[in-house]
Amino acid sequence: MVPFRNNLEALFDLAEDLPRFEQQLIDLAEKLGLTLENLEADHISLRCHQITTAERWKQGLMQVGRLFSENMINGRPVCLFELDTPLTVGPWRISVVELPWPGQKLYRHEGWEHVEIVLRGDPQTLGARAMSLLSDSGLLQPGISFKTSAPQGENERLPNPTLAVTNGQITIKFHPWSIQEIVASEQQ
């Protein structure tokens, strides 16, 4: 379900793009042998190429939710919104949307790009725990790649390693904390 499908011109392209993202997410999960129903989806993220698009989406998202964080991460602004009505994506109802401003990397598609999964536990074992959820045959398929990183906001106090698995179209990311926990750590 897309809560802003019929009533918000600023987000019309996102409403139209969500079914594509959802189908590609389901297809990628199947390839990887990943059971989405058993996982905690934390938030969904957008990608765009132009600042004007990011600003339009920000204004639209502020009409269907509340901006609860705006921070510099890896040298660019990233806004986090809690939607009044969650998005239905696969088996989940996701209420948090991440909107990063354009960076150096150009993505193939402007719209929904990844979903982030919380795997609670020791941050140092995140990669191994995430990889254990994926089938070996899925990881070895052409076009599937993964990388690790540790994005960090200016005042974050929690270690936030990431394992990202992608098919070049969409990405599934794993973290040890929810985005709300990360934002709360900035306030301490």
Per domain, the residue ranges of the chain are: 9-186
Mean pLDDT, the chain, rounded, equals 88
Strand 111-118's sheet: what is its strand order?
A: 65-73, 76-89, 92-100, 40-47, 111-118, 171-175, 162-166, 145-149
Written as one letter, the residue type at 84 is D
What is the reported pLDDT for 112?
Answer: 96
Q: Please check the confidence at residue 125 and state whether its pLDDT lies above 90.
A: yes
Query: Shortest CA distance to 139 belongs to which of 163, 104, 114?
Result: 163
Kindly indicate whether the domain formed by 9-186 is annotated with CATH number 3.90.1150.10. no
pTM higher than the cut 0.85: yes
The tokens describing 30, both together, are 């199947």
